[in-house]
Amino acid sequence: MIDVLRNPTYARLFSAQVIALLGTGLLTVALGLLAYDLAGDKAGAVLGTAFAIKMVAYVGLAPLAHAVSEKLPRKAVLISADLVRAAIALFLPFVDSVWQIYLLIFVLQAASATFTPAFQAIIPDILKNEKDYTKALSLSRLAYDLENLLSPALAGLLLVIMSYHWLFGGTVLGFIFSAALVSVARVPAAVQTERTKPFLERLTRGARIYLATPRLRGLLALNLAAAAAGAFVIVNTVVIVQAGYGATETAVAHALMAFGGGSMLAAMTLPRLLDLCSDRTLMVAAAFLLAAVTIGHGVYILIDGLAPWGAFLFAWAASGALYSGILTPAGRLLRNSAHSEDRPAVFAAQFALSHACWLLTYPTAGWVGEALGLPAAMLILGILALLGSAIALFVWPRGDAREILHEHADLPADHPHLREYRAEGKRHRHLFVIDDEHRVWPTQG
């Protein structure tokens, strides 16, 4: 899997991603502890609101940021976003009220809504071989798991010798080093179309392609399943560990490490699993199992109270592994569902639409957990994950062929597209994606 790091451009960008995510992981731990300091056992509601604000920034600004920055140099966009994030993180240690958390999180995540889709869309342009790209997706998943594994471990060590306020400094350094690595990478220029599309079309093109593609509609439903289970872990771990188990700040880091460790273990095995079964089979199975683990854990707590500490960590690790099984292959679906010039828009749409799911689940995890208790929140989110899994099974066709026989009743017989594929009449078969000549998905041959 690591042989893709022989590509020097990808190696630098991957290193930038790892360092930035380590900093972001420190931010997650520090933010949870800051919320607990400011709000006590209501920290879950504060974090739920803060993460909901984060999702508002992602959902509302990712397509807009792509449309505005589409013609700008990719490297400049990435570096600028990193530097803005570093500047905002610098202010977080000085927060002394909840509303300041909300404001700074919104601005920081607005910069992330610019950075992340642009970064993700670059990788397929660097690694054009599908096997290499699949390995890169697993490495990327591992990088995201560092936020849940190494960052809490590092935070646990640092908390022994310093206040959690200093963890925000690690976030600042992470974004600065990320910007430095991007600056020395050879970032390929974006593919430009022959004509500049109107702003409104650029703003909506990614979402139109995404929602018109059955496999991506299935991906959206699976994003809901992952977000439902993941939101409970991210929002309520600090509450369930400190208020429920009466454990220390270090134990919070250990619980997040368990979730991240399970996710990392799954990511390392996924390239081989995807050689044996389809993306649909793996992702849908992982979603149903994740829903079952979440519901089962909630029922156990409701009936018998908190599980033994070791069993709790095992449940978190299993949830992390299944969460990774849903999300890691997503990049393959996006890559295979758009032309290279449309990939940035589709990645931006995935970023916005997937985080719309989190916009629903984060407040549910925080507010329901406070109002009705943690078991009720876990059960509601588990049922939501089950609903997302069932929708994916229905809207993502079992026989998801990439080459589809179709026809163009609206095109003249001498149209360049028909000549390109030497169509007999107007029926022909080729790799099918939504574009200007193919605006709807064929439902019949």
Domain map (residue ranges) of the chain: 2-395, 401-445
Task: Report the CATH number of the 2-395 domain.
Answer: 1.20.1250.20
CA dihedral 374, 379, 384, 389 (to 10 degrees): 130
What is the per-residue pLDDT for 282? Answer: 92
What percentage of the chain exceeds 90 in pLDDT?
A: 16
How far apart are alpha carbons 251 and 209 in whole angstroms?
A: 44
Q: Which of 339, 396, 351, 336 is nearest to 64 (CA)?
A: 351
pLDDT of residue 11: 85
368 forms beta bridges with: none
Is 70 exceeded by the pLDDT of residue 196?
Answer: no
Return the bridge partners of 431, or none.
Answer: 403
Q: What is the pLDDT of residues 326-347, one digit of tens each?
A: 988 887 888 778 777 777 778 7
Bridge partners (DSSP) of residue 403 are 431
pLDDT above 60 for 198: no
In degrees to the nearest 10, what's the CA dihedral of 259, 261, 262, 264?
Answer: 120
**For residue 432, what are the CA distances in angstroms to 228, 283, 383, 444?**
32, 22, 34, 13
Residue 208 neighbours by CB under 8 Å, 6+ apart: 434
Size of the chain, expressed as the number of residues it contains: 445
350-371 in b/e form (b: 16+ CB < 10 A) is bbbbbbbbbbbbbbbbbbbbbe
**Span 237-295, pLDDT tens digits:** 888 888 888 877 778 878 878 887 888 788 788 778 878 888 889 999 999 999 999 99
99-157: pLDDT as tens digits: 777 887 788 778 877 787 777 778 777 877 767 777 776 677 666 655 555 665 666 66
pLDDT at 445: 39
pLDDT of residue 393: 92
Paired tokens of 306: 């908190």
| pLDDT surpassing 60 at residue 221 | yes
